[in-house]
Chain A
């Protein structure tokens, strides 16, 4: 399977581990990720203004590129996935936005949301299959108690994202099981990590993270995994005690598949 891959800015800077692990693991699993040439910013945050068009254009360029290749668009950063998927939904279902964008872009053939946007985790679940991953695991993470931290961007709004049950998700737990580790479900796994509030009110962000970390520790987690660079930032940088290791899910995937950092 060949995908048009959209990494996004954070995966080239702060979240290199997320990106590298994903590429190596995909190779091992027989998935080809072709990075979109000259990709532009996804927009960063999905614009809530109903008539906002300009900040959606760069997302549409990526979506349109994948359409030209006849490939699905694979994403990894949860923020990029969120923006791309919602913009794509607008292009498919909102005639006014579709019309404005197409007139601006002046494409040969108008774009109407034809590209399928798929997150790396969805690809593992729906295309590779967790049972196949289980077979491919060389170093099962036996006896490791791992909690999933979902955050919000992948899950909500659930009607558009169609990722998992937003209140009681299970995809990352199923992923943990496939790696041979024991998933620990703790109550605050789909809470807000604090998001961008850390820029304005550091104490509030720290309080939110402390709740999450304590909830996870109380439930018996040895470590947390996440798919989101922003969650990673908050869970590590706003936890002064630094008492719970946090990994990107791709790091653990590589470890279980027996792929070293140097490979």
Chain B
């Protein structure tokens, strides 16, 4: 028989105002096995904790029930307190009589009765509690960052600064991500490249950082502290260690008609290319879809011209495996495709562009050297219409339900820059709402309206019709309730942003959860915003949700600190409340593995031979306690009742239910 002590907390008046705490303590003292019960004003305070410790010693307690706030709040505090006097921390249970009782009831009698019932359930559970000891696993002191945009770069730099090894896997030939395509950044209007490229160089030169560019993650095994990751290094047909980045090949390649992704297809590049001047690593890559030599075996110009001898047409994809302790997901975003938004004539006129395309048109490294001209006839536009929320906050199928968050500010920036560089241009911005919550953001927007005379019109554009060399824009002004007809030279669409297409398959590899929009889910939306619910997987940048550069950098830094916190440990103490399978009852049906969100369950074929039965090999489930998070899905799903959870066994739960229903 256990010797149980019950400690009822007043939580100031939080509990005591609605629950008769003295009555709760007195009543629970009558429960079998309860040898001590008391109440106190703040059980979590040092005095309260000492009260628990003293009682354990004086009464020789074997189990403790605390009737207080949610275990999410102070379970760890109380477990630490009982452990300090030699009790196994898993011999303690918390009955939540605050969030689940005093806060939601008004009637003292009812609330007191409920508090007693909740306390009784906890006592019933403690009777069946057994000491649990958490296991330990070693930590591989190296991190993997997936995605080499500004989120991945910042995170890698911060982790490397703390002295840990970091590998970046980037699917493009260069790191830098979307920020390389951006001309100016809001609200300071400093040059995006000027602030990004030094960081790219830092990443390349940092001896703790290794960049796998033009590479993809293709498999993930293991668990927190001990991941084994398969990386595919795509063949770039150029030896990365030999290429000097001189760029001669990219000038002489005869295949000139390759759409240039760096400029979003607004101009062309050669079949062998370096994405842009500041690319890291600065080595050439051959686009196998366009290279004449790779397609027909006839050409070889780049090979002849390369003085370093770096070209290798026979190169194959390379597959390697590396060990990591932590994985950061920084896969970023893309603007949605606008083909389905025919009302804006995006696919009908080259002068209807997305905001990111407009960014390239305005950029000094863009197709026109920063001179803003219409893609159709290379004339300077005199009237430009910006349309916000194209596909954002949308209820139609081709759109996204969420706010893309960055569009209000970059549209404001575009409008302002247009007026600044080309003062004779009329600029209209159509909006649903202008959202500018950020330091110096609203001031920036006010400047666009007041100093730069940008015409902000509340209302949406209904239709854009290409007619002659004009774009006829039909719109409504909701404030004046007027129909507007504008003859525009260019229309710029602020397309919604969505998670990169690589995110969904990656989430499957990582068994990391995602929301319905393919953004990675945080472990806790407010209190654990940079961790995935899957242990050892961390989130940075737009992979987690739309955000701008300052917010991305902040999050990447926070993410790095979490990674460093993990890598700084030599061993990880696991959660002992994990699932385990009774091998004699398991029939190897795979149901548990199918429902496990963490990939903690594997199967092994074991020898159950007994002398009289002859040979018996059976396939049974095996739980990896380092990966299991103790969610309990498998225990519910298991049809034969073989799965059970330490600390939350079926028997314990049923005894709680019995106590409540008594």
Contact B342 A187 (CB under 8 A): no
Contact B467 A168 (CB under 8 A): no
Contact A187 B343 (CB under 8 A): no
Contact A218 B468 (CB under 8 A): yes
Contact A168 B348 (CB under 8 A): yes
> Does residue A136 face the partner (Cβ distance < 8 Å to B)?
no
Residues of B within 8 A of A215 (CB): 465, 467
| A191 nearest CB neighbor, chain B only | B463
> Does residue A203 face the partner (Cβ distance < 8 Å to B)?
no
Residues of B within 8 A of A165 (CB): 342
Q: Which of B279-311 contact A (CB under 8 A)?
A: none
| A211 nearest CB neighbor, chain B only | B485
Residues of A within 8 A of B465 (CB): 187-188, 215
**Which residue, B343, B345, B465, has most C-beta atoms of chain A within 10 A?**
B465
Contact A167 B467 (CB under 8 A): no
| B471 nearest CB neighbor, chain A only | A187
Q: Which of B468-512 contact A (CB under 8 A)?
A: 468, 472
Residues of A within 8 A of B345 (CB): 168
Residues of A within 8 A of B467 (CB): 186-187, 215, 218-219
Residues of A within 8 A of B466 (CB): 187
Residues of B within 8 A of A187 (CB): 465-467, 472
Shortest CB–CB separation between residue B476 and chain A, in angstroms? 14
**Which residue, A186, A187, A215, A219, has most C-beta atoms of chain B within 10 A?**
A187
> Mask for A204-237, Cβ within 8 A of B = 1, else 0?
0000000000010011000000000000000000
Contact B343 A167 (CB under 8 A): yes
Shortest CB–CB separation between residue A157 and chain B, in angstroms? 11
Shortest CB–CB separation between residue B530 and chain A, in angstroms? 40
| B342 nearest CB neighbor, chain A only | A167
Residues of B within 8 A of A168 (CB): 342, 345, 347-348
Residues of B within 8 A of A166 (CB): 342
CA distance A168 to B466 in the complex (A): 12
> Mask for B342-362, Cβ within 8 A of A = 1, else 0?
110101100000000000000
| A185 nearest CB neighbor, chain B only | B348
Residues of A within 8 A of B342 (CB): 165-168
CA distance A160 to B224 in the complex (A): 50
Residues of B within 8 A of A188 (CB): 465
CA distance A188 to B343 in the complex (A): 11
Q: Which of A180-201 contact B (CB under 8 A)?
A: 186-188
Residues of A within 8 A of B347 (CB): 168
Shortest CB–CB separation between residue A170 and chain B, in angstroms? 11
Residues of A within 8 A of B463 (CB): 167
Shortest CB–CB separation between residue A227 and chain B, in angstroms? 20
Residues of A within 8 A of B472 (CB): 187
CA distance A186 to B468 in the complex (A): 10
CA distance A167 to B465 in the complex (A): 10
Shortest CB–CB separation between residue A18 and chain B, in angstroms? 28
| B343 nearest CB neighbor, chain A only | A167
Shortest CB–CB separation between residue B316 and chain A, in angstroms? 43
CA distance A168 to B343 in the complex (A): 8
| A168 nearest CB neighbor, chain B only | B342
CA distance A209 to B111 in the complex (A): 72
| B396 nearest CB neighbor, chain A only | A159
CA distance A169 to B341 in the complex (A): 13
CA distance A215 to B468 in the complex (A): 10
CA distance A167 to B348 in the complex (A): 11
Shortest CB–CB separation between residue B659 and chain A, in angstroms? 45
CA distance A219 to B342 in the complex (A): 20
Residues of A within 8 A of B343 (CB): 167
| B485 nearest CB neighbor, chain A only | A211
CA distance A215 to B465 in the complex (A): 10
Shortest CB–CB separation between residue A183 and chain B, in angstroms? 15
CA distance A56 to B646 in the complex (A): 62
> Mask for A142-173, Cβ within 8 A of B = 1, else 0?
00000000000000000000000111100000
Residues of B within 8 A of A167 (CB): 341-343, 463
Q: Which of B310-361 contact A (CB under 8 A)?
A: 341-343, 345, 347-348
Shortest CB–CB separation between residue A148 and chain B, in angstroms? 15
Residues of B within 8 A of A218 (CB): 467-468
| A219 nearest CB neighbor, chain B only | B467
CA distance A167 to B463 in the complex (A): 9
Residues of A within 8 A of B348 (CB): 168
CA distance A31 to B342 in the complex (A): 34
CA distance A165 to B468 in the complex (A): 23
CA distance A167 to B341 in the complex (A): 8
Shortest CB–CB separation between residue B621 and chain A, in angstroms? 44
| A167 nearest CB neighbor, chain B only | B342
Q: Which of B435-470 contact A (CB under 8 A)?
A: 463, 465-468
Shortest CB–CB separation between residue A144 and chain B, in angstroms? 22
Shortest CB–CB separation between residue B158 and chain A, in angstroms? 47
Shortest CB–CB separation between residue A6 and chain B, in angstroms? 30
| B344 nearest CB neighbor, chain A only | A167
CA distance A168 to B349 in the complex (A): 12
CA distance A215 to B343 in the complex (A): 17
> Mask for A107-129, Cβ within 8 A of B = 1, else 0?
00000000000000000000000
Q: Which of B344-391 contact A (CB under 8 A)?
A: 345, 347-348
CA distance A219 to B465 in the complex (A): 12
Shortest CB–CB separation between residue B248 and chain A, in angstroms? 45
CA distance A188 to B468 in the complex (A): 13
| A165 nearest CB neighbor, chain B only | B342
Shortest CB–CB separation between residue B488 and chain A, in angstroms? 13
Shortest CB–CB separation between residue B461 and chain A, in angstroms? 12
Residues of A within 8 A of B468 (CB): 218
| A215 nearest CB neighbor, chain B only | B467
CA distance A165 to B342 in the complex (A): 8
CA distance A162 to B615 in the complex (A): 64
Shortest CB–CB separation between residue A178 and chain B, in angstroms? 23
| B466 nearest CB neighbor, chain A only | A187
CA distance A215 to B474 in the complex (A): 14
CA distance A218 to B463 in the complex (A): 19
Shortest CB–CB separation between residue A64 and chain B, in angstroms? 32
Shortest CB–CB separation between residue A168 and chain B, in angstroms? 4
CA distance A142 to B472 in the complex (A): 31
CA distance A218 to B342 in the complex (A): 22
CA distance A93 to B545 in the complex (A): 35
Residues of B within 8 A of A219 (CB): 467
Shortest CB–CB separation between residue A103 and chain B, in angstroms? 33
CA distance A129 to B348 in the complex (A): 26
Shortest CB–CB separation between residue B567 and chain A, in angstroms? 52
13 contacts between A and B (CB under 8 A): A167-B341, A167-B342, A167-B343, A167-B463, A168-B342, A168-B345, A168-B348, A186-B467, A188-B465, A215-B465, A218-B467, A218-B468, A219-B467
Q: A167-B343, A188-B465 are in contact. List 7 more A-B contacts (CB 8 A).
A: A166-B342, A167-B463, A168-B342, A168-B347, A186-B467, A215-B467, A218-B468
Q: Which 4 A-B residue pairings sit nearest by Cβ, starting from the closest?
A: A187-B465, A167-B342, A168-B342, A167-B343
